[in-house]
Amino acid sequence: MRGLKMGIIRIGGRGTTRRVAEKEPDNWTGPAFRDHMAKQKEASKDRYITMGRGTAKIKFGDIADTAGRSSGKGMWVSTGRGTGKRKIE
């Protein structure tokens, strides 16, 4: 089993069996995951979700899509063990 080719992985239970199989591409991160989540959101856009400690409900399709992380420029962040702070430039 030594020297396995790229794309080949060993699969086994709790040490009781051993077999070799082709590795499928990962779909839990990156563009594949983003497409998967978009499909799930589209499928459940008419369902309601609760918000605000269960006091309000909105449709899942009404939530806006996010386009990444905000910059954080000009905000203060804590340093050390929370005793200091610095401003993000």
Tell me whether residue 27 is in a domain.
yes
In a domain, 19, yes or no: yes
Within 13 A of 88's CA, how many CA atoms are on the CB side?
10
**Tens digits of residue pLDDT in 15-49:** 677 778 787 777 788 888 888 888 999 999 999 99
Q: Is residue 59 part of a domain?
A: yes
pLDDT band at 6 (very low <50, low <70, confident <90, very high): low
Give a yes or no: residue 31 inside a domain: yes
Kindly state the percentage of the chain with pLDDT values over 70.
89
Q: Identify whether 7 is part of a domain.
A: yes
Structurally, how many domains does the chain consist of?
Answer: 1
Domain residue limits at 36: 1-63
**Does some domain include residue 14?**
yes
DSSP, collapsed to helix, strand or coil, labels residue 36 as helix
